[in-house]
Structures are given as structure tokens and as C-alpha cells.
Amino acid sequence: MRRKIVAGNWKMNGSLKSNEALLDALKKASIPNNVDVIIFPPYPYLIQAQMNLQSSAIKAGAQNLSISEGGAFTGEIAGNMIKDIGCNYVLVGHSERRTLYGETSAIVAQKTAAAITQQLTPVLCIGETLAEREAEQTQNVLTEQLQAVIEHCGIEIFSKLIIAYEPVWAIGTGKTASPEQAQAVHAFIRCFIAKSDAKIAALVQVLYGGSVKASSAKALFEMPDIDGGLVGGAALDATEFTAIISAAS
Ligand code: 13P
């Protein structure tokens, strides 16, 4: 039985003051027993979230990490620093990193390995663009993104990570994939992993991301291969995010 996860990616949003209000509101939310909640604030606020959430079941993680362990890499953050402040999760390969900052699948695979080395749980983000979907390339794109990780890290790494399927055309556009559309892709992802290891495929949690709202969450989370969500915009609104958490119970 896979636990549900509701994760909130704050992206480049927030301030000390607005975060405090959001965190305080989230801490008041009742978290269902079968749901894990993780938020991903921007780096400068990670320790704020980590300290604020100490007595809460909600966990905090980082949005990115370096492939390097430390040294002369201006502007980079090492996995051991994320671990050092008590966080256990990190996003890798978000589509905004892939498309805006040139992260290739090979780099994403290295970041996945770097996270595991520091005993962080990577949330490996994959997904196709609208052009790729329209050209019926969705499965090929996901295969390439997953295969890079399998080749660099080995299939066993999928027992230590979380996958987030985020169709790029659904991110920040208000266009959620229908539950059936998302389920079809999640089933494909699980089948693809099962070709290498059926046991790992049955256990790996696969989240859906892309314009998840309280109104769409329940139908998505009820799908057999959807194990929760990676939420962007709606994670910045305590009422909306709390309702999404409830929808996962
Ligand atoms: P939105 O929920 O704003 O579409 O963002 C999704 C996302 O990119 C989460 O990582």
C-alpha cells in the first residue's frame, strides 16, 4: 500500500512575513494519517520553514541541489547543506530547471545520485511539453528522462525516490490533465519501471503536478496509479492547499 503525498512547490515566491503566515495556517490543518505533506520553499526560507515546522508533521525540502559536494561553485547549494539543516527531501529535474536552466536528463540523473549520496529523498520531476504531446512523443520523452536515471544510478534507486509527473503544458496554465489522461501516463511510468523491477514499480510513489486545485485534486488522487500531487500556485494559499491535503485522505 503506497502512502499518499501532497507536496507544495513554492517556486520563487514568498517573504519572511508571508511565509510565517502561511506556515502558521498550515500547522493548524489536520493532516490525514495516510498522507505525507512536504513543502519546498526557496533556499533563503528553508531554515525558516524547517524551524517553524519542528513540532509539525509537515516536512520541508529544497527545490534544487548541486551535483557537487562543496567547494568553488558560486551560487550552488550542496545536498549535505540541505541535510545539515534537517531537511530530507529535494526536487530534481523540475521542468522549469530543465527548460529555463538547461538541465539535461544526464544532469538530472547526476543530481538524483547526489541527493541519494546525502541520504536525501529526491522528487524526480518528469513530463512532456505540449508540442511533444501533440506529436505523440509523451512516452518517448518520459522514457528518455527515466532511462537517464536508470543508466546513471541503477533501477534500485527508484526504491529511494519519489516521481512527479508534471506535464509542462499543465504547469501554471490552469489546464489540469484529466484524471484519465494523468492515470494513463502514471500507468505507463509504472509499467516502464516494472520492465526492470516489478517490485520497485509497485512501491514507487508517482505524484501528479500541473494546475492541481482543491476542486480537481480528489478525482486525480482517486486514480489507481496517482499517489498524490506536486502543487505549485495552489500551495501558496493555505485554504486551498489544506483542502488538497484533505482530498488525499
Ligand atoms: P502549478 O500547480 O502552479 O501548475 O505548478 C505545478 C508545478 O510546477 C509544481 O512543481
Q: Which atom of ligand 1 is nearest to the CA of 212?
A: 2
- pLDDT, position 68: 97
Cβ neighbours of 180 (radius 10 Å): 9
Q: Which three cell numbers stand for residue 92?
A: 530534481
Query: Looking at the predicted structure, is the pLDDT value of residue 59 above 90?
Result: yes
Identify whether 180 is a catalytic site residue: no
Q: Nearest Cα to 234, choosing from 7, 3, 2? A: 7
Q: For 223-243, how does the pLDDT look when each residue is reduced to its tens digit (9 = 90+)?
A: 999 999 999 999 999 999 999
Ligand 1 center from residue 72 Cα (angstroms): 32
Whole-angstrom CA distances from 33 to 37, 63, 204 are 11, 25, 19
Indicate the helix (H) or strand (E) that contains 25. helix 16-28
Task: For a ligand 1 pocket test, name from 166, 208, 236, 237 the mutation site with the most ligand atoms within 8 angstroms of its C-beta.
Answer: 166
Please say whether the beta carbons of 235 and 10 come within 8 A.
yes
How far, in Å, CA of 76 to CA of 123, rounded? 19
Decide: helix, strand or coil at residue 159: helix
Decide: helix, strand or coil at residue 249: coil
Q: Which atom of ligand 1 is nearest to the CA of 125?
A: 10
Query: Which pTM value belongs to this model?
Result: 0.97
- pLDDT, position 200: 98
Query: Looking at the predicted structure, is the pLDDT value of residue 74 above 90?
Result: yes
Average pLDDT of the residues in 31-59 = 97
Of the residues 96, 128, 166, 240, only one is catalytic, namely 166
Average pLDDT of the residues in 74-95 = 98
Average pLDDT of the residues in 5-17 = 98
More confident position, 19 or 174: 19
Report the pocket of ligand 1 as residue ranges, CB < 6 Å. 9, 94, 166, 171-172, 209-212, 230-234
- pLDDT, position 1: 84
Ligand 1 center from residue 71 Cα (angstroms): 32
- pLDDT, position 175: 85
At residue 101, φ and ψ (nearest 5 deg) are -125, 15
Q: Nearest Cα to 53, choosing from 14, 85, 5? A: 85
Q: For 161-216, how does the pLDDT look when each residue is reduced to its tens digit (9 = 90+)?
A: 999 999 999 998 988 889 999 999 999 999 999 999 999 999 999 999 999 999 99
Q: Which three cell numbers stand for residue 25?
A: 495556517
Query: Looking at the predicted structure, is the pLDDT value of residue 92 above 90?
Result: yes
Identify whether 186 is a catalytic site residue: no
- pLDDT, position 17: 98
Q: For 134-156, how does the pLDDT look when each residue is reduced to its tens digit (9 = 90+)?
A: 999 999 999 999 999 999 999 99
Task: For a ligand 1 pocket test, name from 13, 92, 231 the mutation site with the most ligand atoms within 8 angstroms of its C-beta.
Answer: 231
